[in-house]
Amino acid sequence: MKIISRVMALLVMALFAGCAAQAGGGSGTMTSSAGKALSITTPATLANVSSPLQVCMATNGYTVEAAKNGVNPDKGHHHLIIDEGIPADLSKPVAKDGTHIHMGDGSKCKTIELAKGQHTITALFAQGNHIPYNPPVTDAVTVTVVHVN
C-alpha cells in the first residue's frame, strides 16, 4: 500500500510539473528570456493594459546597441511591429511607418499608444542597417487595451 501511495504521489507531481510547464510557469506578469534569443518581457501576453503602455525586450546572445554603430556581428536594435507579421523579405530594411516602430537609439523599452481593443505586438531584432537577422530574431505578445489615457 505504501508503494502505491508513493507512486501515485510521484505521478501527481509529474502531472503538475507538466501542466505548469505548458502554462508557462504561471507568473503572469513577466516572460522569462532564458533560452530565447529575444523576449518581450513587458507586457505579458494576454494582459489587459492601458494605453499608453511600455513594451520592454530582453535579448540572449545578442547585444543591443544604437543603429549608428553600424552592422556588427550579433549586435543590433529592436523594432516593434503592431498588428502585422514580420516582413516577408528579411533582406530589406524594416519599414518605418505607423505600424513599424524603430528603436535605433539602442533602447530596450518603448512607450507606445494603442487604441482600445486587441493588439499583437511583435518585436523584431535587426542589424544597424535595419535589416533583420535571418532566421528572424523575434517574439510577440497579444494584449487587450481596456483603457486609453
Residue-range domain boundaries for the chain: 1-28, 31-148
Q: Which residue has the higher pLDDT, 60 or 21?
A: 60
Contact between residue 112 and residue 55 where contact means Cβ atoms under 8 Å apart: yes
- What would the pLDDT profile of 90-148 be if each residue is shown by its tens digit? 999 999 999 999 999 999 999 999 999 999 999 999 999 999 999 999 999 999 999 99
Neighbours of 19 (CB within 10 A): 10
The pLDDT value recorded for residue 25 is 35
Looking at the domain covering 31-148, what would its CATH class be? mainly beta
Grid cell 502554462 in the structure block, residue: 23
- Distance CA(77)–CA(90), nearest Å, equals 15
- Distance CA(49)–CA(112), nearest Å, equals 12
92 Cβ contact partners less than 8 Å away, ≥ 6 residues apart: 131
Q: Of 98, 97, 88, 99, whose CA–CA distance to 134 is shortest?
A: 88
Whole-model pTM: value is 0.76
Query: For residue 8, what pLDDT band results from cuts at 50, 70 and 90?
Result: very low
- What would the pLDDT profile of 38-83 be if each residue is shown by its tens digit? 999 999 999 999 999 999 999 999 999 999 999 999 999 999 999 9
